[in-house]
Structure 1
Amino acid sequence: MLSFIRFSIIAVCSLLLSPSPAQDATAGQTVYMQVCFACHQPTGLGLPGMFPPLANSDWVTAAKSDRLIRIVLHGITGPIQLNGQPFNSPAPIMPAQGTLSDDQIANVLTYVRSNFGNKAGAVTAAEVKAIREAEKARTTMWTQAELEKISVN
Structure 2
Amino acid sequence: MNADLIEQSLELAAERCEDLTPLVYARLFADHPEMEALFWDDKNWAIRGEMLAQVFSAILDFIGERLYASTLIQTEVITHAGYDVPPDVFAIFFSTVAATLKDVVGGDWTPAIDQAWTKLLADLDYYVTHPNQAETVGVTV
TM-score range for the pair, normalised by the shorter chain length: 0.3 to 0.5
Larger relative helix fraction: 2
Question: Highest Rg: 1 or 2?
Answer: 1
The structure whose RCO (Cα within 8 Å, separation 6+) is larger is 2
